[in-house]
Amino acid sequence: MIKRDVGKLKSESFDILIIGGGITGAGIVRDAAMRGFKAALVEKKDFASGTSSKSSKLAHGGLRYLEQGDFKLVFDACHERKILTHIAPHIVKPIQFIMPIYKGDRRGRFKIRLGMALYDILAGFQNISKHQMLNRDKVLELEPALNPEGLIGGTLFSDCQMNDARLCLENILSAIEKGAVCLNYVEACGFIKENGRARGAYVKDLFSGEKLEVRANVVINATGPWADEVLSLSDANHTRRLRPTKGVHLVVNNFKPNHAILSSTRSDGRMFFILPWGKNSLIGTTDTDYGLDLDRVSVDKTDVDYLLNETDRILTAAKITPESIIAAFAGVRPLLSASGKASSISREHTILESPSGIISVLGGKYTTYRLMAKEVVDRAVKRLKISGIGDCSTHLIPVYGGGQVMGEMREKDDFTLHLIQTYGSRYNEVLDIAKCDERLKMRISPDHPHIAAEVVHAFQNEMAMTLSDFFLRRTWIGYSRSRGKDCINTVADILKRHLNFSEDEIENQVKQYEVKQVVGATFMAPADSGLINQTPTRRKH
Ligand SMILES: Cc1cc2nc3c(=O)[nH]c(=O)nc-3n(C[C@H](O)[C@H](O)[C@H](O)COP(=O)(O)OP(=O)(O)OC[C@H]3O[C@@H](n4cnc5c(N)ncnc54)[C@H](O)[C@@H]3O)c2cc1C
């Protein structure tokens, strides 16, 4: 059981304090704890509630970065993709992509063939499988819903799909197991300074309102798109280093492709995806400048129109309309400041040190998080010079549930398979909870595979604090057609019966997880997944 103990933050002085519990911070705290540092991490909402649960959920080399000449990024990302399939095999899995080629596409057959060959070369021995060029008939045989008009061929290649929120969580849980103190719903509000150097942070527990001082020799800012805001807490004259861009995804339930589909948009030549995602499909993404409130990123009607128009062009027969959309979410990319079109900005990262010594990690992509974390912790090693600190081993040691599952997967029933695919080698922890009470073996809804014991597990062992944490990040129930309404009372009942939540707490939690009806649209979005807005955000294509 993981007990949330904010007091631990003030009771000791840490080697390293990390601010931000997205994948970047989670990767850093795991690496630091594994090397033997006394590390702490504070996250102002839930782990992965920022960009790290709003990604396209691909651990990929990034085919389109080849066009921008970012060969090193593609090479690193392919290498990391392979590592992730070893350290987190239950939540990072190969997926086959089809990229159809249409007459008039910005990227013709020759360019695609060249790009795919380069992609295979850069992946080298880390390749999932080599690409194949396909003729028109083969493309239609593999993906019959594709529009045949103007189709001239395509290519088949592999990348990986992942569970972004759970991979972030598993890094946090691994770090805690190695002795790190990681807390969600604790916000950094300022920096403790001694002789002009950052020596920790003033933080606030957002549940109790308690303010604390957390002392540390090295402070790391891993707050993704919030990085400039956090640096401004230290230096009011801080010059912004990021150019945040918004990306939107739609979840549709009336069509699921056989493969992931990657295609070029006609309106601006960008690449977009239609990905199989559980029982549904994910369509994304947009890439537009974002200068509004980072804590209230919303999906605009223009985002929806853009994605539906492009999808309709290549998947006309699938009839994906606004009525097909069951949920939508928006996230903000923490891109390094650069001029030019938003979609052409590099996904490279940089590490910089402020005059007060705060180490910030800026930019990057999910796939390369482990490498970024290694570079940051290497810096801390040089700065701290503590004896007995080990080398980085995050490429070798599986994340929390990444160990080997005992026994043949083929022999497992559907129920056990669901648990293994979610919790990996830790699935027995859920089964152990279920052993205490027969009712905990029951599914919480006929529409979802999750059992009651998973609710107890999430709140007791995975630091879920709110219903949103459970519905949007420990599981993806919040992105299903019911968005959790079909089982919210059952979940509330489990919290009361097994975790001693009071009536008032439950009522509050349910209220906070209200599902907002969207005016003028036929679909809804979970409260903190990005609301669909009729007013466009600032955009500069
Ligand atoms: C639409 C979209 C699709 C993407 N798809 C992919 C993909 O398929 N593959 C890929 O590799 N990459 C993808 N990316 C990029 C990737 O998702 C991001 O690079 C990555 O998630 C950033 O993680 P992060 O931890 O740096 O930021 P975040 O996940 O945003 O984490 C920062 C955290 O800091 C917290 N925080 C902020 N201020 C404070 C404070 N004062 N105190 C405490 N905590 C604070 C926030 O609450 C937040 O949780 C995508 C990005 C977007 C937007």
Q: How far apart are CA 267 and CA 270, in angstroms?
A: 8
One-letter identity of residue 292: L
Query: If we measure between CA atoms, which residue out of 347, 331, 293, 242 comes closest to residue 538?
Result: 293
In this structure, what token pair is assigned to residue 362? 């800026």
* CA–CA distances in Å: residue 321 to residues 285, 311, 328: 16, 9, 13
Examine the domain organization and report whether 155 and 302 are in the same domain.
yes
Examine the domain organization and report whether 156 and 189 are in the same domain.
no
Which protein residue has the closest C-alpha to ligand 1 atom 35? 20
Compute, in angstroms, the gap from residue 137 CA to the centroid of ligand 1: 40
CATH of the domain at 433: 1.10.8.870
Examine the domain organization and report whether 353 and 235 are in the same domain.
yes
Residue 31 lies in a domain: yes
Examine the domain organization and report whether 210 and 257 are in the same domain.
no
Compute, in angstroms, the gap from residue 224 CA to the centroid of ligand 1: 5
Examine the domain organization and report whether 152 and 100 are in the same domain.
yes
pLDDT per position as a tens digit, 365-413: 999 999 999 999 999 999 999 999 999 999 999 999 999 887 777 777 8
Compute, in angstroms, the gap from residue 529 CA to the centroid of ligand 1: 14
Say whether pLDDT at 523 is over 50. Answer: no
pLDDT tier at 338 (50, 70, 90 boundaries)?
confident
Compute, in angstroms, the gap from residue 223 CA to the centroid of ligand 1: 7
Examine the domain organization and report whether 429 and 306 are in the same domain.
no
Residue 149 lies in a domain: yes
20 touches ligand 1 (CB under 6 Å): yes
19 touches ligand 1 (CB under 6 Å): yes
One-letter identity of residue 510: V
Q: What is the dihedral of CA 232, 234, 239, 243, to 10 degrees?
A: -50
Total number of domains in the chain: 3
Q: How far apart are CA 364 and CA 31, in angstroms?
A: 17
pTM over 0.85: yes
* Concatenated DSSP letters of 119-187: HHHHHGGG-SS--EEEEHHHHHHH-TTS--TTEEEEEEEEEEEE-HHHHHHHHHHHHHHTT-EEESSEE
* CA–CA distances in Å: residue 220 to residues 200, 357, 369, 447, 489: 9, 9, 15, 42, 40
Among 284, 306, 340, the domain-final residue is 340
How many Cβ atoms sit within 10 Å of the Cβ of residue 194?
Answer: 10
- Residue in this structure with the two tokens 């946090």, named with its chain if needed: 172
Residue 377 lies in a domain: yes
Least confident of 18-22, 52-56, 533-537: 533-537
Examine the domain organization and report whether 131 and 152 are in the same domain.
yes
CATH of the domain at 24: 3.50.50.60
pLDDT tier at 514 (50, 70, 90 boundaries)?
low
**How big is the CA angle at 302 (ends 299 and 304), to the nearest 5 degrees?**
60
pLDDT per position as a tens digit, 123-163: 887 778 889 999 999 999 999 999 999 999 999 999 999 99
Query: If we measure between CA atoms, which residue out of 472, 517, 485, 513 comes closest to residue 52?
Result: 472
Q: How far apart are CA 52 and CA 49, in angstroms?
A: 7
One-letter identity of residue 165: A
Tell me the torsion sign for CA atoms 349, 350, 351, 354. negative
35 touches ligand 1 (CB under 6 Å): no
Which protein residue has the closest C-alpha to ligand 1 atom 3? 55
Examine the domain organization and report whether 127 and 210 are in the same domain.
no
Q: Give, for ligand 1, the residue of 70, 214, 366 to mutate: max count of ligand atoms closer than 8 Å to Cβ.
A: 366
Burial of 36 (C-beta count, 10 Å sphere; 0-12/13-18/19+): middle
Say whether pLDDT at 483 is over 80. Answer: yes
CATH of the domain at 138: 3.30.9.10
Tell me the torsion sign for CA atoms 144, 146, 152, 155. negative
Query: If we measure between CA atoms, which residue out of 248, 247, 271 comes closest to residue 325?
Result: 248
Q: Is pLDDT larger for residue 68 or for residue 462? A: 462
Q: Which long-range contacts (CB under 8 A, 24 or more apart) does 422-429 make?
A: 422/90, 422/91, 422/163, 422/166, 422/454, 422/475, 423/90, 423/457, 424/88, 424/89, 424/90, 424/91, 424/400, 425/90, 425/398, 425/401, 426/400, 426/401, 427/401, 429/457, 429/461
Q: Give, for ligand 1, the residue of 159, 223, 360 to mutate: max count of ligand atoms closer than 8 Å to Cβ.
A: 223
Q: Which domain holds residue 28?
A: 7-51+165-242+346-384
pLDDT per position as a tens digit, 37-91: 999 999 999 999 999 999 999 999 888 888 888 899 999 999 999 999 999 999 9
Stretch 187-203: mean pLDDT: 97
42 touches ligand 1 (CB under 6 Å): yes
pLDDT per position as a tens digit, 204-263: 999 999 999 999 999 999 999 999 999 999 998 999 999 999 999 999 999 999 999 999
- Using a pLDDT cut of 70, give the percent of the chain over it: 94
Mean pLDDT rounded to a whole number for the chain: 91
> Which atom in ligand 1 lies closest to the alpha carbon of residue 49?
49
Beta bridge pairs of residue 361: 351
- Residue in this structure with the two tokens 């299903």, named with its chain if needed: 480
Stretch 168-174: mean pLDDT: 98
333 touches ligand 1 (CB under 6 Å): yes
Residue 242 DSSP symbol: B
Examine the domain organization and report whether 258 and 148 are in the same domain.
yes
Say whether pLDDT at 320 is over 80. Answer: yes
Query: If we measure between CA atoms, which residue out of 26, 110, 47, 177 comes closest to residue 464?
Result: 47
Residue 322 has what pLDDT? 93
3-state secondary structure of 397: coil
Examine the domain organization and report whether 262 and 205 are in the same domain.
no
Q: Is pLDDT larger for residue 231 or for residue 522? A: 231
Q: How far apart are CA 276 and CA 523, in angstroms?
A: 20
With beta carbons less than 8 A apart as the criterion, state whether 394 and 374 touch: yes
Q: How far apart are CA 171 and CA 378, in angstroms?
A: 18
Q: Is pLDDT larger for residue 535 or for residue 326? A: 326
Stretch 273-297: mean pLDDT: 95
> At a CB cut-off of 8 Å and minimum separation 6, what does 500 contact?
none
306 touches ligand 1 (CB under 6 Å): no
